[in-house]
Structure 1
Amino acid sequence: MEEHDKNEKEQRSIEEDCSRRDFIKRATIAAMGVGLGGIQELDAGENSAEKTKAATKKTAPVKYLYHDSHVHLTSYVQEGTDIRDYLKIMGDKVGRSVLFGLPLQQKWSYLNSEDRAPTYYLHSDAHLYYYSFNDAMIAHEYNKLNEEEKKRFDPMITGFNPTDMYAVDHIKRVLKMYPNTFVGIGEFSIHKEFVSAKIAGEVASLENKALDHIMDFAAESGLVTLLHCDIDVPFGEKSPKPAYARQMYKLLKKHKDATIIWAHMGLGRIVRPHTRDLMHAKGERNPGHLEIIEYALKDKELGNLYYDISWDQVAKYVISSPESLQRTADLINKYPDRFLFGTDNVAPKEETYYNVYEMYQPLWDILTEEARHKILIGNYERIYDKAKVDVAAWEEKNRNAGKAKLLGENETPEEYILPHHHHHV
């Protein structure tokens, strides 16, 4: 009992150590936006804070504040934070972290921005294009670490085009070039406000067969899938149903053996939580955003679906009102195994890295002990520990078979990495 109290005090000390310098300012600004509160009514009998707290299972206090399930080591111009610097930022507060960059490069078009070099997709009207070398960059950073340091990271493959039937070949090639490294794919985007329309070439779709091939391989290999897909079009929150919800659930049910994390709960800067109007044009009630999420969580065919609550843009909806905050907590308390926390930092910097965690402090305060542990620590470990085992098994099984299939009889591994193409002139 004394040891338990000591651990609890240590955990509280760690949490209090994180500065809340920006919280009041951020919460005030966020409260001016559209929140999740007033959008959905959960079953009060099952979801009241009193009942969920009474039913809480005691979970051993965590050593770390959290594991980061969503962070980008590099930016939209492929610049970022050295992995050793990121490790210092994590320190003894963040236990583990996914490791991926951004699969898209912002083009610097002189005709568009002249000598002003854009560093973000909102800084220019020029196209974005897929940048596959990012996976090699991530593997390079990861391999700077010693074996003990590597245990704190879970690298992901992102440098593929989800509209390309060859995308799976890229993923397999990366696994073979960098064995014992990658455990997932993502974050990659299908529908994303501002971004989708800027990507050169074919527009991504949830109904593209190329995406089915990617999901099939994720299931086969055990790779965790982190998918960004806005649940709706911009400014569509008052429509009867979100534009992409049906297609997304159809995709998920088609690939039940793939572990899929829906980034940002399907929200964005201007893809706001779906509002619950009393009636829409057909005389039926609009579902609210949390209600739509609960439909999916209750569906036994969607047991492979998880949500991350990463990004300050998502946090602003959650903390925008006491009602929104409580209803979000009620949902997470009711389904504690299905949510993960991530910062969605891009090229992490020490002075801003913990801001999103701090914004969510009011949520951490009203979650049950079980739910708080699982969203911050437990679910990450369960999902990514399994992926490490499954992907390692796939790599071992396919190590020799893959060479026999992909290499010609007289070719060497070096020739596979840099294949020779013989063209007739």
Structure 2
Amino acid sequence: MNYIQRGGTAREFLDMTAGRVGRVAMFGIPLQQKWDYFVSGDRAPDYYLRSNADLYYYSFVDAVIAREYLSLSEEDRRRVDPMITGFNPTDMYAADHIERVLLTFPGVFAGIGEFSIHKEFVSSKVSGHPASLRNPALARILETAGEIGLVVILHCDIDNVRPGEPPDFAAELLQLFADHPDATIIWAHTGLGRFIPPAEGHVAWLDGMLADPRYDHVALDISWDEVAKYVVRDEASLEAWAALIERHPTRFLFGTDAVAPADWDGYVANYTVYDPLWERLDPDVRAQVERLNYERIFDAAIPRVRAWERRQRATGDDG
């Protein structure tokens, strides 16, 4: 699903991958790009950078993802881990939405996200005030995720487009992680993005974070070709990232982060760009990053979520 809530079906995706992919987290983008006629006229925007009109939260995306998952056979469902994204992280009712979705579609969802707090030009386009790491609504979301057992995939840039020193959001993000030790968090892209390059010392900063037991519940996702370009840009960067991953092999995950891919080549491109990194990793470490860390995290989460759903139904709590 893209920024106008269009994309292939789950069945089409599984047919496209043709057994070449193991487990996948499946989620829609929580934001819809508004087609404002007074901004773009008859030109319908198909991406958030194609219009100056607002983005808004699109809660129906969770029902679409549930429908797609439930359309699959039992065998295919075992390969797919659906995620809830259709909530506004500035809304104190967001946690209620998450619980309501779980109880409406029991047996379906494994986690929440990817959802964004600070994201380059996206944050300023979202209707209403921007999301913030200090917002108690976000704290309530993470508390709920920790209580239920949901995996959290969180996108938060480590800095603004015009960088600060130190990075603008680094301290607040670490505090958020430390405040929610019961939540299993995957930090998307290690805080980097299309317009957020790594600051000098970024790898060393990550190393220090991963060595700190206060953040043992946080894993780092290195998906997205926009992140890969920083990792593989030269030999020094490759060696630094390879050494970091080798020191913390259980803390990194890879996913393609391909948005509504049209074909196999488009889907796998985000994987092949990392070939220079894969070649430097020990085969056992590579297996952990590519597959095993994901399976361990989600296999631990899903029984907890199903148990929470059963408890709620047994007590007659409708969320």
Give the TM-score band, short-chain normalised. Answer: over 0.9
What residue number does 1:81 align with? 8
What residue number does 1:268 align with? 193
Instruction: State the one-letter code of the partner of 1:390.
Output: R
What residue number does 1:173 align with? 100
What residue number does 1:136 align with? 63
What CA distance in whole angstroms lies between the structure 1 residues aligned with 2:195 and 2:104?
39
CA RMSD of aligned residues (A): 0.9
CA contact (8 A) 2:190 2:222 kept: yes
What residue number does 1:422 align with? none
What residue number does 1:331 align with? 244
Instruction: State the one-letter code of the partner of 1:143.
Output: L
What residue number does 1:51 align with? none
4+ long deviations beyond 4 Å: none
What CA distance in whole angstroms lies between the structure 1 residues aligned with 2:85 and 2:309?
18
What residue number does 1:201 align with? 128
CA contact (8 A) 2:312 2:318 kept: no
SS at match of 1:119: coil
Structure 1 residue 301, shift from structure 2 partner: 0.8
After TM superposition, the score normalised by the length of structure 1 is 0.74
**2:151 is the alignment partner of 1:253:** no
SS at match of 1:345: coil
Structure 1 residue 235, shift from structure 2 partner: 2.9
CA contact (8 A) 2:156 2:187 kept: yes
CA contact (8 A) 2:84 2:111 kept: yes
- Of 78, 83, 86, the residue aligned with 1:151 is 78
What CA distance in whole angstroms lies between the structure 1 residues aligned with 2:69 and 2:229?
32
What CA distance in whole angstroms lies between the structure 1 residues aligned with 2:280 and 2:317?
55
SS at match of 2:168: coil
CA contact (8 A) 2:149 2:305 kept: yes
**2:165 is the alignment partner of 1:243:** no
What CA distance in whole angstroms lies between the structure 2 residues aligned with 1:337 and 1:404?
37
What CA distance in whole angstroms lies between the structure 2 residues aligned with 1:188 and 1:356?
20
What CA distance in whole angstroms lies between the structure 1 residues aligned with 2:311 and 2:99?
13
Gaps of 5+ in 1: 1-73, 276-287, 407-425
The higher relative CO (CA closer than 8 Å, separation ≥ 6) is in: 1
What CA distance in whole angstroms lies between the structure 2 residues aligned with 1:76 and 1:169?
24
Structure 1 residue 248, shift from structure 2 partner: 0.4
- Of 208, 211, 216, the residue aligned with 1:295 is 208
What CA distance in whole angstroms lies between the structure 2 residues aligned with 1:219 and 1:122?
34
CA contact (8 A) 2:27 2:84 kept: yes
Alignment identity in percent?
Answer: 52
What CA distance in whole angstroms lies between the structure 1 residues aligned with 2:99 and 2:252?
28
CA contact (8 A) 2:148 2:305 kept: yes
**2:133 is the alignment partner of 1:211:** no
SS at match of 2:306: helix
What residue number does 2:277 align with? 363
CA contact (8 A) 2:194 2:226 kept: yes
After TM superposition, the score normalised by the length of structure 2 is 0.98
Report matched runs for 1:97-108 at 5 Å. Answer: 97-108=24-35
What CA distance in whole angstroms lies between the structure 2 residues aligned with 1:319 and 1:200?
36
Instruction: State the one-letter code of the partner of 1:121.
Output: Y
What residue number does 2:294 align with? 380
**2:25 is the alignment partner of 1:112:** no
Q: Between Structure 1 and Structure 2, how many residues are aligned?
A: 318
For the pair shown, which has the larger CA radius of gyration, 1 or 2?
Answer: 1
What CA distance in whole angstroms lies between the structure 2 residues aligned with 1:168 and 1:205?
16
